[in-house]
Structure 1
Amino acid sequence: MAGSSHGHTPAAWTGVIIAFIGFCVSGAFMVMAQPVGFWAGMALVVIGGIVGWVMSAMGLGQPKDTHEKFQAALADSQAAAVAKG
């Protein structure tokens, strides 16, 4: 996946950062036994996913054909390695 730049987009980074903050908030409030804070943190996790999806729809995500190009290049390199060795 590293070769396909999977997740290296503004949409992915923003969504994950927001979700991570929500996870940390939920964890802290769970330890403090405060259900309202826990659910507020869980709402942030969901909001992070929505923000990432909206940003991707706005064109800040990975292009749709990137995965296919990566798979084709990978198959070509594997075929070349087999033919070579």
Structure 2
Amino acid sequence: MLPVNIEVNLDRQAIRQYIEKRLDEEVREAFFLIDLKKMSELLCMSERYIEMELLKDPRIKMLEIRRRKKRWWKYKPLMQAIEEIVSEW
């Protein structure tokens, strides 16, 4: 038998980025309702900007769930509506 030498090069940073991306996608799929604070965090936009530019749109207003002073939105339909609005900019 001939000796076999196998060398594997791993790009640790690329693997780490891939794992973080997949984890982020899985966490986002777990959301059912989000509030303005979480929306701001996910969209990398300020709460004020979201209020002014997105929440006044009728497509998002109809998705709003309100209880007393608290507001929530269903995650998946909200993200679809935001994608439509942003693509119109």
What TM-score do you get using the length of structure 2 for normalisation?
Answer: 0.29
Structure number with higher strand proportion: 2
The answer to which structure, 1 or 2, has the higher relative contact order (CA under 8 A, 6+ apart) is: 1
| Larger proportion of helix | 1
State TM-score, norm by structure 1: 0.30
Larger radius of gyration: 2
